[in-house]
């Protein structure tokens, strides 16, 4: 959702407390080596890098939130270098095979070309690298899926392009990623690890 940082954090606070915070802690804690976070937003994941094996962290968002992200990282006193960039996930300004880990939480619902983003992620990930992701997806129940299909056109207009009914898991598989999903799913949220899967499409 493309909203001011304070408004977005207030809107998300109940969901963060009830569901997302524990998922973020588990997911982000698995980051290792050179790490790129795409769609870092207001920095909700930053505190959880302390328990990771990260050696360097690059925070990025398509909106220019560099100063906000660096201030939050500084406040957390992370024990490794941190940089921040304004980037488009569909066209990453990084060298091939540059990162050990890419972290993405609640991003791909609003990217206009999902497959473009996944191609870029595969490009900048090392062959043995990992994408750690948390996404909300089209509900599996037919009745709820139909409702989200109906709501999505309006929701996209008021939320900055968020698709309630995007099949991100299917799109990851289509892009050639090998998935290790955490179970059970938490409602419409799915999360886990994906590897580039070179030679295994």
Structural element, H or E, at residue 84: strand 82-86
Confidence of residue 70 (pLDDT cuts 50, 70, 90): very high
75 has a pLDDT exceeding 80:
yes
Closest listed residue to residue 178, CA positions, set 131, 139, 138: 131
Q: Give the pLDDT mean for 58-79.
A: 96
Spatial separation of the C-alpha atoms in residues 164 and 174, rounded to whole Å: 19
pLDDT bracket for residue 13 (50, 70, 90) = low
As given in the structure block, the two tokens for residue 64 are 């220019």
pTM of the model: 0.86
Using alpha carbons, list the distances in angstroms from residue 144 to 107, 139, 160, 197. 21, 6, 22, 32
- Tokens 């409602």, residue? 187
C-alpha 36/C-alpha 104 separation (Å) is 9
Q: Would you call 177 exposed, middle or buried from its count of C-beta atoms within 10 A (0-12, 13-18, 19+)? A: buried
Report the distance separating Cα 114 and Cα 120, nearest Å: 10
Q: What is the CATH number of domain 5-52+65-195?
A: 3.40.50.150
Burial of 180 (0-12, 13-18, 19+ CB in 10 A): exposed
Q: State residue 121's pLDDT score.
A: 98
The confidence score (pLDDT) of residue 201 equals 36
Q: Give CA–CA dist 94/129, Å, rounded.
A: 15
Per-residue pLDDT tens over the stretch 92-144: 999 999 999 999 999 998 888 999 999 999 999 999 999 999 998 777 777 77
What does the pLDDT read at residue 154?
62
Element (H, E) at 61: strand 53-61
pLDDT of 161-201, one tens digit each?
A: 676 778 899 999 999 999 999 987 767 889 999 999 764 43
Delimit the domains of the chain by residue range.
5-52+65-195
Task: Report the percent of the chain where pLDDT is more than 90.
Answer: 66
Q: Could you tell me which residues are beta bridge partners of residue 86?
A: 61
- The mean pLDDT value for 25-33 works out to 97
Residue 109 pLDDT:
85
């Amino acid at each position: 959702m493309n909203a001011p940082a304070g408004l977005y954090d207030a809107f998300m606070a109940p969901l963060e407390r009830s569901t997302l915070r524990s998922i973020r802690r588990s997911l982000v804690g698995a980051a290792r080596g050179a790490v790129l976070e795409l769609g870092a937003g207001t920095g909700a994941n930053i505190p959880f890098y302390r328990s990771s094996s990260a050696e360097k962290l690059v925070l990025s968002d398509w909106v220019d939130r560099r100063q906000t992200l660096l201030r939050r990282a500084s406040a957390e006193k992370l024990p490794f270098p941190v940089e921040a960039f304004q980037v488009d996930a569909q066209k990453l300004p990084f060298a091939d095979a540059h990162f050990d880990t890419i972290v993405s939480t609640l991003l791909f619902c609003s990217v206009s070309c999902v497959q473009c983003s996944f191609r870029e992620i595969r490009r900048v990930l090392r062959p043995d690298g990992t994408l750690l992701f948390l996404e909300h997806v089209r509900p599996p129940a037919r009745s709820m899926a139909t409702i989200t299909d109906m709501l999505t056109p309006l929701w996209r207009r008021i939320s900055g392009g968020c698709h309630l009914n995007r099949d991100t898991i299917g799109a990851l598989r289509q892009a050639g990623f090998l998935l290790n999903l955490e179970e059970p799913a938490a409602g419409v949220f799915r999360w886990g690890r994906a590897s580039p899967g070179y030679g295994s499409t």
